[in-house]
Amino acid sequence: MNSLFQRKYVVQGIFIVIALILLSRLFYIQVIDKSYFLSANNNVIRKVTIYPARGVIYDRKGRILVQNEPVYDLMVVPREVKPFDTLEFIKLINLDKKGFYQRFNKARSYSPYRASVFEKQLSAHTFASFQEKLTKFPGFYVQKRSVRRYPDTIASQFFGYINEVVESDIKRSGGYYKAGDYIGRTGVEKSYEELLRGQRGVENQMVDAFNRPKGHFADGAYDTLAVTGKKLISSLDRDLQRLGEKLMHNKIGSIVAIEPSTGEILAFVSSPGYDPNLMVGRDKGNNYMKLLRNPHKPLFIRPTMAEYPPGSIFKVVNALVAQQMGKINAETRFYCPGAYYYGRRGKMGCTHMHGSTSLIESIQYSCNTYYGYIYNRMVDHSGMRSVNGYRKWHDAVTRFGIGSKLGVDLPNERKGILPTAEFYTKHFKSDKWTSGYNISLSIGQGEIGMTPLQMANVVATVANRGFYYTPHLIRGIGEDHVVKPEYTKKNSAGVDARYYDPVIEGMSRAVNAPGGTAYPIAQVPGFEACGKTGTVQNPHGENHSVFFAFAPRNNPKIAVAVMVENAGYGATWSAPIASLIMEQYLTDTIKRPKYYTERLYNANLLPGAKPKPRPVQRPKVDSLPKVELKPVEQITPTLTTTND
């Protein structure tokens, strides 16, 4: 009996404790914690997302390249909408009746109770007119946002653009993004999205029956502040970028300029470009489709995504690799009779009969024959089978950042093309092939492909005498100008510094000595520039013009690569463009004669355009390769003779 009595009080005690807990919780919810009250009274308290301004982007001298401009999204809660003057409403926001009902039905199908965007990005002018009459339209309110504004209308492919998130973006973010949010879609806006986007805030507004704000709920105790995105200091020089885009007007191609001592990209020109402001505002969709349909592909980021055979500028790489492999030295000479002969009847033409040619002269005059010989030595005479000799050559070339992504801070970088030995074995259905089978690689033709960024990085490596820093477009993050550690690491090209001297001497003579392929059109007043021209065979039209260079010779400040599609000789177009880019950066001005600059500014080299203007002078032919290859089965290995 006693036991039963005790159990009775234990059970009663448990029920009393549970009741006290429930009462305490109810008291907390109703009296102390206002968040539940806030949720229950959503009809009078509006939760408004405060979108932060994205981080501002500056050029290397602190000048603003990308800033923010306020816009306003018109929001609607369908259930709160009451009859109003529809005609007045649509007139205020420049909308037709059909568009109104389409948007309203979409919002209602999304949720009758939750706010959704009715019309995006009203301008400040439209918002001002609408705000005065907002009380006439219950259920509607305005939410402030910011969009990008580009005061200089340059570097569109570098910046990229932002776009509204899609379902896949929301899933990848783990719920951070919500429908209606914006995200960096291309360019730096995408690469640095997490830094640029900032942190959203929330504001709990009390509104009356007339949809008028009446202050913050609980004096803002439950509000959170928005945090502005971090600023980015880009490596671009605004004036240099503007000049590059002016020089590339009505041309297809790229300019990439790098500071060799840091890897910072000084100019990043992809042509044709577009006004980045076209990708902002209510007409963005229409503008995007026009750009997408443009036959010259202005949305294509050529510096990092286009892959071209490098042509004769690749001779610089072969000259360095051959020395490192011990196949030639600065004194090695070969005889050029006007062509390089191999196999039974194989022939690779040269532009001139250069006679006995040294390493320095082979670059100054761009002798194809010289590079046929040294490629033969590297592949066929490395003390191993040709296929293994090719592998050794391939590995040495990759050290220059060719055939792999460099790691630039932009999305969708292409790695270029550098075929493996296995590729040729499969192609020729045998591993008995020799250098004659892919002799075009000796002069940068054939199956090889490089991006303009890789070309600029190679010449920056030469300027540094054997190393490079990973090219990058952002030199500092936030107020502390933080630099990513991967951009401060030296990358060795695997060639000893002493082997660069004869190559650089040849590049200097190409620009500054009579007979050089870029003399005198690529000279930079007051500085010794070193460069190499190239003319790239193009099976789809006229040849491409390419040139890369650095200046000054000692303690280089700038390395630049220029590619102009369908423009012919490297000395005619790319070399003078590069010369002006170097002059602008080194002297902060251009002092060339007007006829020199106007010819470049006004030239229209687009496919199908009127005939090209006559060059200032007749350029020296720069090793346009004329390769005559026989069917594979007729090519046989052959020893080459040298004239050291």
Instruction: Please report the DSSP string for 93-111 in residue order.
Output: TT--HHHHHHHHHHHHHH-
Q: What is the pLDDT of residue 4?
A: 52
How many whole angstroms separate alpha carbon 481 and alpha carbon 487?
13
Between strands 355-358 and 490-492, the pairing is unpaired
Q: Quickly count: other Cβ atoms within 10 Å of residue 80's Cβ.
A: 18
Domain boundaries, the chain: 2-33, 45-234, 238-293+308-634
Write the DSSP symbol of residue 417.
Answer: B
Q: What is the DSSP string of 560-598?
A: EEEEETT---TTTTHHHHHHHHHHHHHHSS--S-HHHHH
**Nearest Cα residue to 244 out of 262, 270, 275:** 270
Q: Phi and psi for 121 in degrees, rounded to 5?
A: 50, 60
Characterize 100-112 residue by residue with b for buried, 16 or more Cβ atoms within 10 angstroms of its Cβ, and e for exposed.
beebbeebeeeee
In 3D space, the residue among 422, 473, 418, 421 whose CA is nearest the CA of residue 451 turns out to be 418
Q: Mean pLDDT of residues grouped by 10 in the chain (644 residues)? A: 60 78 73 52 67 94 94 87 88 88 88 84 84 85 87 95 90 85 93 93 74 67 86 97 98 98 98 95 90 96 97 98 97 97 91 95 97 97 92 98 97 97 96 95 96 98 98 95 94 98 98 96 96 91 94 98 95 97 97 92 87 53 42 32 32
| pLDDT the model gives residue 29 | 61
Rounded CA-CA distance 523/513 in Å is 10
Tokens 């020199």 -> residue: 596
Got the DSSP string for 303-352? HHH--B--GGGGHHHHHHHHHHTTS--TT-EEEESSEEEETTTEEEE-SS
Q: Would the CATH topology of 45-234 be identical to that of 238-293+308-634?
A: no
User: What pLDDT is stored for residue 639 in this prediction?
Assistant: 29
> What's the DSSP call for residue 134?
G
Per-residue HEC secondary structure of 139-200 comes to CEEEEEEEEEECCCCCCHHHHCCEEECCHHHHHHCCCCCCCCCEEECCHHHHHCHHHHCCEC
| CATH architecture group of domain 238-293+308-634 | 3-Layer(aba) Sandwich (3.40)
C-alpha closest to that of 265 among 276, 257, 273, 255: 257
Nearest to 512 by CA among 531, 539, 484: 531
Token pair of 100 as six digits: 């109104």
The CATH topology of domain 45-234 is: Penicillin-binding protein 2a (Domain 2) (3.90.1310)
